[in-house]
Structure 1
Amino acid sequence: MYWIRQIEVLAGQKKFTNLGENGLEIEFDVPFNDKKEPDVSSVTIYNLSDATINDIKKDDYLYLNVGYKGLNNLSNILTGEIEEANTDWQGLDKATKITVSDGGKKWRTAELNKTYKAGTKASQIMQDLADVLSYEVVEIKPKNDKVYKLGKTIKGKASKSLSQLVDDTESKMFINKNRLVIRGQKEGYQTGFVLNAKTGLIGIPTLNKDESGDKTEDVAKEKDKKKNKETKKTWKVQCLLNPKIETDSIIKVESKAVNGTFRVISGKYGHDFTMELEVEV
């Protein structure tokens, strides 16, 4: 079931695939995490014609779908805007590397200038900022939905204002496939997925230990981090690529080293069809 790997790229008004008589060699490196800044990924397609390369233009959208043919689970792992496309020769092969950001252009350029009346909630302002940034909203449920009793003025870069509101409400924010999520630090998606040797777990998970002064991130204010004495522990997990596992997925891990339920903090989809995950309890 896992041996026929299927890759599909939609870009430049064309579809490219790795299977079939016209199949192409396609590589990808797609990171994801629960930080505010949009992720930047790369997709490399080999031996395209010059005319096709010219059709792949900056600011156009690129969609990357992957899966296993035997499982019929082709799913999207990347939706984003093309930042640039560069072509060079690697031996006898012509490699076109396409750099893609997940909502990066709007993040850098969109602005909102608006004054809100007394009693406005942070979540209301967040929604307006999400609209300006053109992000699909999955969830806007800040941990502490602050009420601005004297009103609030938003001015300038929408991304900067949104980041500040996230901090004000002691929340986290991330963008995934042009979708915006704002919620409490420890919250995530219940997937029901069990990761073990039979379902794609590779090797044994290893413990990462953060011995910095910041300790855990789930604290009320940035300045209070050093007062937080609980050491932050995360686990590094490697598995076969599963397009359904993404930022904030809640998964169960079963192994000789550790058994339990974890939240995915970050990870990377690799073109060798493996994933590297960082997870925490």
Structure 2
Amino acid sequence: MAVHNSKHYQFKTNGNYEGYQTTVVIQGKTEKVTISTRRNFQVLYEVNSDNSSTPASSTVTFYNLSKETLSKFEKNDHLKLYTGPEPLFGLLSEGYITNIVPDVKDGQDHTTTITFTEAILAKKNVKVYSKFNGSKTVTKTVKVNGKSINYKKRQVKKVNLAFRKNTKASTIIKRVARDAGYQISLLDLKKDHVFKKGYTVTSKAMEVFASLAKACDTKFYQRRGQIVFESGTKPNPYHENLYFSDKTGLTSIPSHDDADSDGGDSWTFTAFENPQLMAGSVVHVKSPEARLNKLMQVTHVTHTHETGSYTMEVTVDG
């Protein structure tokens, strides 16, 4: 990523990091289910965000839900998790439920833990096909009065989505995203590869995106469930000007990590929970103890709410 001097940007982090609230909204088949600390429910979570092509998996744990509430949601339902102190309260993550572990005893209480995979859709990775179906002739056999009679029948056959010669990768990405129902948050290709011999979609959407991103020398990942294609050439693609110091959210001295695969300068630190911060966010980190005062990009963050604390562990690169 191209990281420029922070003097060109106004970096600030508002909020007093007090009075946190968490709300989870699950869209069931018949109604929405809202579970919130504002209604005196206990809600814990561990939410991940990273810049890899594999969608992040996260968990949220509820205490003492009634059987009636538990009956209103199930696997593959869509979940949104909002959190933060009042000035920063907002959407942290969303995805589809992949697993539910209900009614686990925890002393006097019982817990329900939901695992969800980051996605803006309430469905799994899908494959897209041409809107024009093909057909094939198949032989069917029926028995009439004890005799087998064969007959031929035309059967509809799905046809792979194909693009003509000299189609650009950006065109394919937009079409596959539209047909599969994905939203693109950022489409910034380092190079818009041209497929001179054409291109045929033979895999599911996420695999197609990853393949096209590789052909375009571009980073591909999901961010709050939306699709991101990031060239690494823009200094601040999401315009999230976040500043971390010991006076603005930083709770540990940043530790220096080994150089990453791109030869970048990688650091890890902990801070008070801020739902604005996700993979791809650009932050200014200042820590005299670590001799660190520079603009960096988030590569991974784990947001955690445990009893009595809202924190996040952040890995940045610059």
What's the TM-score bracket when you normalise by the shorter of the two chains? Answer: 0.7 to 0.9
How many residues are paired up? 260
Please report how far the alpha carbon of residue 246 of structure 1 lies from its aligned counterpart in structure 2 after TM superposition.
1.0
For residues 90-146 of structure 1, give each alpha carbon's deviation from its aligned partner in whole angstroms, at most 9, with x where no partner exists. Answer: 222110101111128755333342111112100110112222332211112211110
Which one-letter code corresponds to 1:91 in the other structure?
Answer: G
Match of 2:84 in 1: 67
Which one-letter code corresponds to 2:91 in the other structure?
Answer: N
Query: Do the aligned partners of residues 107 and 163 (structure 1) sit closer, same or farther apart at CA in structure 2, a change above 3 Å counting?
Result: farther
Give the TM-score normalised by structure 2.
0.77
Match of 2:247 in 1: 198
For residues 204-250 of structure 1, give each alpha carbon's deviation from its aligned partner in whole angstroms, at most 9, with x where no partner exists. Answer: 1110004xxxx633xxxxxxxxxxxxx44300021111111111111
Match of 2:139 in 1: none
Runs of 5+ in structure 1 lacking a partner?
Answer: 218-230
Match of 1:41 in 2: 58
Give distance in 1, aligned partners of 2:274 and 2:40. 22
> Given that residues 76 and 123 in structure 2 are in contact (C-alpha distance below 8 angstroms), is that contact kept between their aligned partners in structure 1?
no
Please report how far the alpha carbon of residue 277 of structure 1 lies from its aligned counterpart in structure 2 after TM superposition.
0.7
Q: 1:93 aligns with which of 101, 109, 118?
A: 109
Superposition pairs for residues 142-221 of structure 1, below 5 Å? 142-185=189-232, 187=234, 188-210=237-259, 216-217=261-262
Which one-letter code corresponds to 2:43 in the other structure?
Answer: I
Match of 1:138 in 2: 185
For residues 60-87 of structure 1, give each alpha carbon's deviation from its aligned partner in whole angstroms, at most 9, with x where no partner exists. Answer: 1111100113x3x210001111112111
Match of 1:279 in 2: 316
Which one-letter code corresponds to 1:125 in the other structure?
Answer: I
Give distance in 1, aligned partners of 2:126 and 2:241. 38
> Given that residues 56 and 85 in structure 1 are in contact (C-alpha distance below 8 angstroms), is that contact kept between their aligned partners in structure 2?
no
Please report how far the alpha carbon of residue 251 of structure 1 lies from its aligned counterpart in structure 2 after TM superposition.
0.9
Q: 1:80 aligns with which of 84, 91, 95?
A: 95
> Given that residues 171 and 183 in structure 1 are in contact (C-alpha distance below 8 angstroms), is that contact kept between their aligned partners in structure 2?
yes
Report which stretch shifted further, 95-104 or 243-252.
95-104
Report which stretch shifted further, 162-171 or 130-139.
130-139
Secondary structure class of the residue paired with 1:52: helix
Give distance in 2, aligned partners of 1:176 and 1:199. 24
Please report how far the alpha carbon of residue 28 of structure 1 lies from its aligned counterpart in structure 2 after TM superposition.
0.3
Give the TM-score normalised by structure 1.
0.87
- Structure 1 segments (4+ residues) deviating >4 Å: 104-107
* Counterpart check, 1:267 vs 2:306: no
Q: What is the identity percentage for the equivalent residue pairs of Structure 1 and Structure 2? A: 26
Secondary structure class of the residue paired with 2:68: helix
Bigger-Rg structure (1/2):
2
CA RMSD, 1 decimal: 1.8
Give distance in 2, aligned partners of 1:192 and 1:264. 12
Report which stretch shifted further, 266-275 or 84-93.
84-93
Q: 1:6 aligns with which of 9, 17, 21?
A: 21
Query: Do the aligned partners of residues 158 and 106 (structure 1) sit closer, same or farther apart at CA in structure 2, a change above 3 Å counting?
Result: farther
Give distance in 2, aligned partners of 1:109 and 1:90. 38
Secondary structure class of the residue paired with 1:162: helix
For residues 3-59 of structure 1, give each alpha carbon's deviation from its aligned partner in whole angstroms, at most 9, with x where no partner exists. Answer: 31111111241211113xx40111000000001111111111100101111112111
Q: 1:244 aligns with which of 266, 276, 289?
A: 276
Secondary structure class of the residue paired with 1:203: coil
